[in-house]
Structure 1
Amino acid sequence: MLLNYIKVAWRNLAKSKGYSLINIGGLAIGMAVAILIGLWIWDELSFDKYHSNYDKLARVMQHQTFNGKVGTQFANPAVTAQEIRNKYPNDFKWVLQSSWNFQHTLAVGQKKLLKEGSFFEPGVIEMLGLQMLRGDKQALKDPYSIVLSRSVATAFFGDNNPMGKTMRLDNKTDVKVTGVYEDLPHNTSFRELKYILTWDLYLSSNPWIQKMENPWGSNFTQTFAQVADNADMEKVSKKIHDVKLNALPANDRNYKPVMFLHPMKKWHLYADFKEGINTGGRIEYLWLFGIIGVFVLLLACINFMNLSTARSEKRAREVGVRKAIGSARSQLIGQFFSESFVVVILALVLSILLVILFLPYFNQLSDKKLAVLWTNPYFWLLNLAVCLFTGLIAGSYPALYLSSFQPVKVLKGTFRAGRFASIPRKVLVVLQFSVSVILVIGTIVVYRQIQHAKNRPIGYNKDSMVYVSTNDIIHTKFEAIRHDLKANGTIVEMAESGSPATEVWNSNGGFDWEGKDPNFSVDFPNNAVSYDFGKVLNWQIKEGRDFSRDFASDSAAFILNESAVKFIGFENPVGKTLIWEDKPYTIIGIVKDMLVESPYAPIRASLWHMTKDAENVITLRINPKKSASAAVASIEKTFAQYDPSTAFEFRFVDDQFNRKFGEEERIGKLATCFAVLAILISCLGLFGLASFVAEQRTKEIGVRKVLGASVANLWQMLSRDFVLLVVIACILAVPIAWYGMFHWLQKYDYRTPISWWVFGAAVFGALFITLLTVSFQAVKAARANPIKSLRTE
């Protein structure tokens, strides 16, 4: 029986090749989208699960009240781990201090590379569950040891055994390779951890840490923890709330630090905090794309349902004959469900081929490294569930509807579908285009939000600027390098700074000024810079002057941005004094606000002060008369002359600035792709329905042409109903889209308004595409020869 069902299903598909192609093609596209989104969601949900202690790992974070607002941060004092270990030994298996991931130069002989790594306290190998290829969990026992990832070990030693080999770190310290671990996957927070060095080496390389008068007064390291096997994460988190508060001197407690554990399972999807409350994060995108995947698949199912029910009269006689010779309704239902599942299985095969074809592009678009999960049983179970869901949804209405025909009426020729038979099809078309229009409006709003932020004044000229990491050697040779590069016309100017132009790596409290409430805690981005930093950036001085070599007093001077002036409340700020850590600093200049952090957030009150110490980066403005490639080559050559031991790596400032839009741009591009596919699927269905309607009304069209109807009259008659359905869809879609996008934009402080033309453009586009889709069949039918249309069957 089943084989017979499949044979009949195949014959019907082969008999109506055009409709079969629309059904299978539409379903395949919908299923391919659902599979791609499913792979993306799986990757997001499995983020960090590579680590065997996933459920017990956490990051120690803190809330602090600065500038009248509660902020949340990763950074902690370097003594945090030791304090927690001492006070709560039974609640934790590991509490480890760590530096930030930074690039360091690793060298073996003449080969040197810049790679990212961290300094960790012992226990990190076991805590993170690293897969050791060489060495064991005690590999970091010696202070001068280093553990490499497989890729770094291969880059330096090839297939040779690296164990016991010596490497040079930053041309300062020799370290010995004591272990090699498997590279961490792309979907882990530690994916850029290419090597691990010891915490003892970090402390010995930075003696100022142990000389700090108040070790709790500076937040510049990270703290990771693994709670004990029998401990409850939430209860332990409450225990450590006052660890820092109790350790601070009484006069430093006004910023009310509250420490807590942020579980690893929340790092990726629940990373956003506002006023000390975890407000969510990327989990919103999981819901968004999950809903889009279901709707796109549903649109494809709707096509099948619409075309199957629309062609019901074509198969009415078949149903009548089958019932007359004894077929039960259940058998007919089985027949039509068989046809549905044949289409679904063919669509699934085609969808997997489409996934394989487009997965590399999807990975590039989404910044992922997804692969088809061939060996994962969940992948096949999910596909089976999608097939069952799609087959049942797409085949249920046709099966129940067609099997309900009465054989007597059908065989007598008195069967009529009924005046309301087309209502379900119309409802489904409205649903299809409502979803499509919502996606189009959402895509336009996302794009406008990105452009709105990109067009925001940034307060400096980011073009033709590069920055490189610096070190003690480069710092001592700074003036010589600057002289050589200016002399050969490579650069206009260069300067050192604690943070790049596009980021804030340091902020400070401890400020006081006339009229400040002594109980009010502040925290300002405070960038240490060398002379000519303002010339490199081309920042815009609003009042006062820039730092100058002509004024020795500039070593105790500040330049403020406009937001800092407003925050402090000075009316005529130039010449006034700020106290920082009990030392007076004179305000010598005010610059216009510069966009340094998030392009969607308000600009923070910021300060710049002079330094003669070695800082983190050197920023260079390339001579506009010189090509970027030639200038970078000249800079690299000059740096190598003065410091041949350090690997050279540069970054363009405008590239780093554009990376700030990466997340929103990826979401926008993905939404655009899904919107286009949703419209394509909807149009496929519309094209099939228009084709059927034109075929169904062939004789009517012939009569009308004989009676004098023009092609335009017939086109209008055939298109009117479809246009009306799309208009209804737009009326429903517009308020839903407005509501959704309005609430999405609320998470941005700096956001675009939702203009009326966005909805107008989406509605006009939907109507235009509808007319374009329907018109092909309408005009084709209208131009047909009426003699052939009226010929007796």
Structure 2
Amino acid sequence: MLKNYLKTAWRNLIKNKAYTIINIGGLALGMAVTLIIGLWMEDELTYNSYFSNREEIAQIYQSENFNGTIGTGPAIPRPLEKALREEYGDNFKHIVMSSWSTSQYLEYMETSISRDGNFMQSEAPDMLDLNILKGEKDGLRDINSIMLNQSTAHALFGNEDPIGKIITVNSESPMTVTAVYEDIPVNNSFKHLSYIVPWDKYVASMEWVKNSEDNWGNNSFQMFVQIAENTTMSSISAAIKDVKKESGEDIAEFDPQLFLFPMEEWYLRGNFENGKQVGGRIKYVWLFGIIGVFVLLLACINFMNLSTARSEKRAKEVGVRKSIGSQRGQLISQFLSESFLVVMLAFLIAVFIVLISLDGFNDLSRKGIEFPWSSFNFWGISLIFVLLTALLAGSYPALYLSSFKPVRVLKGTFKAGKYASMPRKILVVLQFTVSVAFIIGTVIVMQQINFAKNRPVGYDKEGLIQIPTFSEDFTGKYDLMRSEFLASGAAIEMSSSSSPTTRVWSNRNGFDWEGKPEGFQEDLAWTDVSPEYAKSLNLKIIKGRDFSREFASDSAAILINETAMKYMGLTNPIGILLKDNAPTDPDPPVKIIGVVEDMVAQSPYEPVKQAVYAFNREEYTNFYNLRLNPKQSTSQNLAIVERVFNQHFPGLPFQFQFIDEEYGKKFAAEERVGRLSGIFTALAILISCLGLFGLTSFVAEQRTKEIGVRKVLGATVFNVWNMLSKDFLKLVIISCFIAVPIAYYVMNGWLQEYPYRVILKWWIFALAMIGAMMVTVVTVSFQAIRAAKSNPIKSLRTE
């Protein structure tokens, strides 16, 4: 029986080629979008799945209150480790202190490379359950050992056995390679962990780290933990909540509260607002999941509309089948079999579309998704997906067509009825409601990105590069290198800084100044800079003066930004002293000598943070900032800069970043969302137009004789076009008026997440409505004009 159903279905598909192409093509596009989104969602939802202990791993986070605003993050003080080990050690299987990921120069013989990695305590490889390819898992037991991932080991040693080899880190520390571990896949939080160096080496080589052993106010470290068996994240969080507050240090005013943030939530739910977890990338997972469902729904609507539109052509077939004894259940099975065949063919085409577009999608989404050929789960879910789609797409046509009365059909008195087209009209309205909402959403996303991109950043990004200076080779050479770079003609100014231009690496508090409000809890973004910093970035001095090498006293001077001046309550800040109120070993007071224009160094979607630029002390130089010569080409400047660099640092790889590119990376996530939304919106519109095209062709076919009569009686092409187009245009207009308030509500809610955001304007919605109507007119016009231009003699002979 099933074989006969499928044979009949195949004959119907072959007989109506145009209908088949539109139906299968639309479904294939919809299914391809859904498959790609499904693979993307699976990759997002399985982030950090590489780590076998992920359900037990967490990072210690803390929340602190600054003047009524609670900030939450992973930065913790070093003494916390001792407190947790001594008082709560039974709750943890592993406690691992860690530095932040930093780029280091790794050198072996004539090879020198730069890689990102961490200083971590010896339990890290076991906690992360790294796959050790060579060497030992406890490879961090010696202070001068280093563990490398496979790609870093290959870059340094080629095919040589790396175990036992000596490499130099930052031209300073000889380290013995004790293990090589498998590269951590890209969809994991530790994907950049190219090397691991013992934590004890970090303490021994960095004086400030050593001095922070008992300093509860220095939140400059990370801590990862694996909880013990028979415990829970929530119970441990409750137990350790007030450990920092009870330390005896004068930090209770900030109300610090500790908690465990599970690894499973790092990636998707990492946003906190005023101390509360408020989601994160999970919103994009749901967004694209909803888009996938709706795009598939649009394709299914096409199938339903086209199937029911052809009802009169299938009416006699239904009448004959019923008259010879077919039951309604058998007819439903027949039409569902046709639906299954169409969906199955569409699925095969969709798989092909996914295969040829996956590389481009990976480039666009910054993913490494592979088609899961060998995944039993994927094929099982795909089968369910095909069956559900076939049922969704075919159920209404099957029920509708099988309900025809055989007597009326065979007598030739069957008419679809006055309201028979109403369900199709409702479905068309639904299709274009979704499409118009997608258009509006995409336009607003791109508007928000461009709004933030065009925000004044307070400095000149063009022609500015930064060179990382983490190696000991750079120590004490700033003045020399500045002279060399300027003399080369490739740079017109140069400075150094402790933080990159587009980020803030250090935040400080614990200062007093004249006029400071009682109980005020300051939080200052702190960057140590050379005297030429403002000149190299073209920062504008709006009060006071810039640093000057002519004044010896400037070694104890600072610049602040406009926001800091307002934040500190200063109307005339020049000459005000900032005094470090640390209980032990406080820094000398520093004097404000100038105020610079606000500079966007963190998120371009957030207000500028209060910032201090302190006269640079040599040990805090992490970057050279070069303003390239605008009178020469960029390539020429870079070639000269590289030559000068190699003359003084022949053993180090020349690395640099364009500041405008680094700043542009801040928009990467939103831009990817915008591009993907744009692509999916275009496909949704295309699918809707395919259905509209098919419906128009059937309407024109059904009214062939009427069109012929009208033309004989003098109707013009415009009259016929207007007759066929106006009904569809009315439906799209209705869709627009439904879509606009829905889109406004959703996108206005989305924009509330950004303090610095675009204002929704009426023309965005008007443009989307006009665009949808124009697309409708173009789609309908092709068939309408074709029908209007047909020979009326042939039209009148059709019956």
Tell me the alpha carbon deviations over residues 68-112 of structure 1, each in whole angstroms, 9 at most, x when there is no partner.
Answer: 421112111223223211111110000110111111111110101
Asked whether the 8 Å contact 2:543–2:596 carries over to 1, the reply is yes
2:377 paired with 1:378 = yes
For residues 658 and 183 of structure 2, the distance between their equivalents in structure 1, rounded to whole angstroms, comes to 28
For residues 765 and 499 of structure 2, the distance between their equivalents in structure 1, rounded to whole angstroms, comes to 42
Asked whether the 8 Å contact 1:80–1:97 carries over to 2, the reply is no
For residues 778 and 403 of structure 2, the distance between their equivalents in structure 1, rounded to whole angstroms, comes to 36
Match of 2:428 in 1: 429
For residues 700 and 135 of structure 1, the distance between their equivalents in structure 2, rounded to whole angstroms, comes to 84
Tell me the alpha carbon deviations over residues 263-297 of structure 1, each in whole angstroms, 9 at most, x when there is no partner.
Answer: 00110011000111111111111111111100000
User: For 1:624, what is the secondary structure of its paired residue?
Assistant: coil
Match of 2:655 in 1: 649
Alignment of 1:50-69 (within 5 A): 50-69=50-69
Alignment of 1:107-122 (within 5 A): 107-122=107-122
Shift of 1:322: 1.0
Match of 2:739 in 1: 733
Match of 1:329 in 2: 328
Match of 2:364 in 1: 365
Shift of 1:409: 0.6
Shift of 1:137: 2.0
For residues 319 and 27 of structure 1, the distance between their equivalents in structure 2, rounded to whole angstroms, comes to 25
For residues 785 and 49 of structure 1, the distance between their equivalents in structure 2, rounded to whole angstroms, comes to 66
Aligned partner (choices 610, 631, 635) of residue 605 of structure 1: 610
Distance 1:452 1:630, change over 3 A: same
Aligned partner (choices 655, 659, 663) of residue 665 of structure 2: 659
Match of 2:686 in 1: 680
Alignment of 1:282-321 (within 5 A): 282-321=281-320
User: For 1:29, what is the secondary structure of its paired residue?
Assistant: helix
Shift of 1:639: 2.1
Asked whether the 8 Å contact 1:254–1:520 carries over to 2, the reply is no
Aligned partner (choices 631, 644, 647) of residue 638 of structure 1: 644
Distance 1:667 1:213, change over 3 A: closer
Shift of 1:552: 1.1
Tell me the alpha carbon deviations over residues 278-319 of structure 1, each in whole angstroms, 9 at most, x when there is no partner.
Answer: 111111111111111000000000000000000010011111
2:625 paired with 1:626 = no
Shift of 1:479: 1.4
Match of 1:106 in 2: 106
2:756 paired with 1:750 = yes
Alignment of 1:110-149 (within 5 A): 110-149=110-149
For residues 151 and 402 of structure 1, the distance between their equivalents in structure 2, rounded to whole angstroms, comes to 62
Asked whether the 8 Å contact 1:445–1:741 carries over to 2, the reply is yes
Match of 2:774 in 1: 768
Aligned partner (choices 581, 586, 598) of residue 593 of structure 1: 598
Shift of 1:414: 0.5
2:154 paired with 1:154 = yes
When structure 1 is superposed on structure 2, of 621-630 and 570-579 the one drifting more is 570-579
Asked whether the 8 Å contact 2:212–2:218 carries over to 1, the reply is no
Match of 2:414 in 1: 415
For residues 67 and 605 of structure 1, the distance between their equivalents in structure 2, rounded to whole angstroms, comes to 14
Tell me the alpha carbon deviations over residues 709-733 of structure 1, each in whole angstroms, 9 at most, x when there is no partner.
Answer: 1110110010010000000110100
Tell me the alpha carbon deviations over residues 422-476 of structure 1, each in whole angstroms, 9 at most, x when there is no partner.
Answer: 0000000000000000000000000000010011111110111111111443231
For residues 714 and 213 of structure 1, the distance between their equivalents in structure 2, rounded to whole angstroms, comes to 86
Match of 1:165 in 2: 165
Match of 1:691 in 2: 697
For residues 92 and 192 of structure 2, the distance between their equivalents in structure 1, rounded to whole angstroms, comes to 26
For residues 694 and 362 of structure 2, the distance between their equivalents in structure 1, rounded to whole angstroms, comes to 33
Alignment of 1:314-713 (within 5 A): 314-470=313-469, 471-581=471-581, 583-614=588-619, 615-713=621-719
Unaligned runs of 5+ in 1: none
Unaligned runs of 5+ in 2: none
Amino acid at match of 2:661: D
Distance 1:263 1:522, change over 3 A: same
For residues 593 and 53 of structure 1, the distance between their equivalents in structure 2, rounded to whole angstroms, comes to 44
Asked whether the 8 Å contact 1:139–1:179 carries over to 2, the reply is yes
User: For 1:594, what is the secondary structure of its paired residue?
Assistant: coil
Amino acid at match of 1:758: I
Asked whether the 8 Å contact 1:332–1:399 carries over to 2, the reply is yes
Distance 1:433 1:213, change over 3 A: closer
Amino acid at match of 2:667: F
Asked whether the 8 Å contact 2:476–2:618 carries over to 1, the reply is no
Distance 1:248 1:378, change over 3 A: farther
| Alignment TM-score, normalising by the size of structure 1 | 0.98
For residues 675 and 759 of structure 1, the distance between their equivalents in structure 2, rounded to whole angstroms, comes to 15
2:209 paired with 1:209 = yes
Match of 1:6 in 2: 6
User: For 1:714, what is the secondary structure of its paired residue?
Assistant: helix
For residues 195 and 780 of structure 1, the distance between their equivalents in structure 2, rounded to whole angstroms, comes to 68
Shift of 1:246: 1.7
Shift of 1:212: 4.1
User: For 1:239, what is the secondary structure of its paired residue?
Assistant: helix
Shift of 1:255: 1.5
Match of 2:37 in 1: 37
Asked whether the 8 Å contact 1:68–1:521 carries over to 2, the reply is no
Distance 1:321 1:107, change over 3 A: same
Shift of 1:373: 1.2
Amino acid at match of 1:107: E
Asked whether the 8 Å contact 1:123–1:137 carries over to 2, the reply is no
Amino acid at match of 2:369: L
Asked whether the 8 Å contact 2:171–2:472 carries over to 1, the reply is no
Shift of 1:792: 5.2
Distance 1:786 1:84, change over 3 A: same
Distance 1:776 1:375, change over 3 A: same
2:246 paired with 1:246 = yes
For residues 170 and 462 of structure 2, the distance between their equivalents in structure 1, rounded to whole angstroms, comes to 30
Amino acid at match of 1:608: Y
2:93 paired with 1:87 = no
Asked whether the 8 Å contact 2:721–2:781 carries over to 1, the reply is yes
For residues 125 and 3 of structure 1, the distance between their equivalents in structure 2, rounded to whole angstroms, comes to 58
Tell me the alpha carbon deviations over residues 344-376 of structure 1, each in whole angstroms, 9 at most, x when there is no partner.
Answer: 000000000000010111111111111111122
Tell me the alpha carbon deviations over residues 29-71 of structure 1, each in whole angstroms, 9 at most, x when there is no partner.
Answer: 0000000000010001100011010100000011112244211
For residues 330 and 612 of structure 1, the distance between their equivalents in structure 2, rounded to whole angstroms, comes to 85
Distance 1:80 1:646, change over 3 A: farther
User: For 2:147, what is the secondary structure of its paired residue?
Assistant: strand
For residues 533 and 279 of structure 1, the distance between their equivalents in structure 2, rounded to whole angstroms, comes to 37
Alignment of 1:219-230 (within 5 A): 219-230=219-230
Match of 2:269 in 1: 270
Asked whether the 8 Å contact 1:67–1:523 carries over to 2, the reply is no
Aligned sequence identity (%): 51
Tell me the alpha carbon deviations over residues 148-173 of structure 1, each in whole angstroms, 9 at most, x when there is no partner.
Answer: 11111111222222111111111111
Tell me the alpha carbon deviations over residues 671-725 of structure 1, each in whole angstroms, 9 at most, x when there is no partner.
Answer: 0001000000000000000000000000000011111111101100100100000
For residues 389 and 255 of structure 1, the distance between their equivalents in structure 2, rounded to whole angstroms, comes to 55
For residues 353 and 163 of structure 1, the distance between their equivalents in structure 2, rounded to whole angstroms, comes to 45
Asked whether the 8 Å contact 1:41–1:286 carries over to 2, the reply is yes
Amino acid at match of 2:522: V
For residues 73 and 282 of structure 1, the distance between their equivalents in structure 2, rounded to whole angstroms, comes to 17
